[in-house]
Amino acid sequence: MLKIFNLPDLGEGLTESELLTWKVAVGDAVKVNDVLAEVETAKAVVELSSPFDGTIAELHGESGTVVQVGAPIVSFDLPGSESEEAPTAGDDAGSGTLPDGRVPTLVGYGAAAEGAGRPARRTRVGRPAAPHPAPSSPPEGAPVTAAAVGTSTEGSAGTATLTVERPRSTPPVRRLAKDLGVDLSGLSGTGTGGVVTREDVQRAAEGSGPAPGSGAAAAPEPGVRTLGGRPRTEEEPIRSVRKATAAAMTASAFSAPHVTEFLTVDVTESMELLEELRRHRDFRELKLTPLTLVARAACLALERTPELNARWDGDHGRILRQNYVNLGIAAATPRGLMVPNITDAQALDLAALAERLNELTHVAREGALQPGQLTGGTFTLTNVGVFGVDAGTPIINPGEAGILALGQVRRMPWEHHGEIALRQVMTLSLSFDHRLVDGEQGSRFLADVGAVLRRPGMALALF
């Protein structure tokens, strides 16, 4: 019996996932909860687990393919005589092949469904167990059924087929061809199913050059060096984290009225404190950085200005004051910009905060952040100083009231005790949502953080 497993949703409203790597191949025997593949959503990389004991009959898609939620991703060959589509998250348990009547999800199984029984038969589709050759491509721009791209096959009468757009080339490739004056109708594609690729267009352009009046740039002189020795034009699809980041930042920038304030602080005493702490037995195993001190100072300052830790709920006409700090740390990861957070950072002392920061940084660099670490933040820090930058105008993480950027620490002439001396100086940049935070409150928060960094002992007097 053939079972088709559709890609389920994580339960967070995500509509697609990018297939990163397959962990199985056609013909492999798998058991329930064996890892089938790694997929990347807009929030995290997760493992896709098998809902069945059986044999892999077909894998739908290659690494790098974006799969829509509800679309077939794996076909299983199971003992039996009938073929049917596997339930996705939210369906009933099926014909008893799932353990204990549990519902399959993208990362495992939920609780047993109450009154779980055999549901109504889903639409049957007949499918050969062995992979079949890729069909020939339809004319450019013509829609084809899912069967033409290996996501469904002919079945019984009334079977609904998935319609997808499958031109002879992708929109970015057609745009590149237009820019370079290349006629796609005269090209033989080297991609899967005869699809014209970017390389096909570039080879054609090198042979003929752009057509007159096409608007393309003049052909380069032979031997002209490009940046990094790479092709003159490269394209990358917008997907996963970059797509989600762009949507979130655009929504934040145009929904929350941003105000940014700056404060330059003499942090010489804080840097001296870090050096002293690194020699202390309680901190020797920890990595202490200026971010550690800023994180602690921000948690203290939020005690006095809770408006910076609030949330605007326009849908219900209310402001939510959060008396805890889930401290977000903007991190540049291999997957792009991510903002994991430290839960209840206000309850941590400096050593515990340093330990959590180190753990979070390590997990982010490994690309192993989980969805739960990326939601629920209340206030964010971003360290632009690690890139040698002094200041900026950071965009607020959606749903939060403020974000604090810390610039690089650098030695520069500074007034100290009435004289000019070389001191270590940092610039802080605070952006806040003016719906929630007035200028007075934003300024007080920034001044409090600056006071702690200027004279760490002030923490004992102010908080």
Q: Are 84 and 43 in contact (CB under 8 A)?
A: no
SS3 state of residue 144: strand
Sequence letter at residue 197 = T
Q: What is the DSSP string of 257-285?
A: -EEEEEEEEE-HHHHHHHHHHHTSTTTTT
Q: Which residues of 117-131 are buried (b: 16+ CB within 10 A; e: fewer)?
A: eeeeeeeebebeeee
What is the CB neighbour count within 10 angstroms for residue 433?
A: 24
Active-site residue 434, yes or no?
yes
Q: Are 401 and 308 in contact (CB under 8 A)?
A: yes
Q: Beta 258-266 vs 419-433: how paired, if at all?
A: antiparallel
SS3 state of residue 217: coil
Distance separating alpha carbons of residues 324 and 15, to the nearest angstrom: 32
What is the CB neighbour count within 10 angstroms for residue 48?
A: 24
Distance separating alpha carbons of residues 372 and 12, to the nearest angstrom: 11
What does the block give as tokens for 452? 């702690």
Q: Are 453 and 293 in contact (CB under 8 A)?
A: yes
Catalytic residue, chosen from 132, 280, 362, 434, is 434
Distance separating alpha carbons of residues 206 and 149, to the nearest angstrom: 31
308, 321, 344, 350: CA torsion to nearest 10 = 40
The dihedrals phi and psi of 22, each to the nearest 5 degrees, come to -85, 140
What does the block give as tokens for 364? 């982010």
Sequence letter at residue 213 = G
Please identify every residue annotated as catalytic: 434
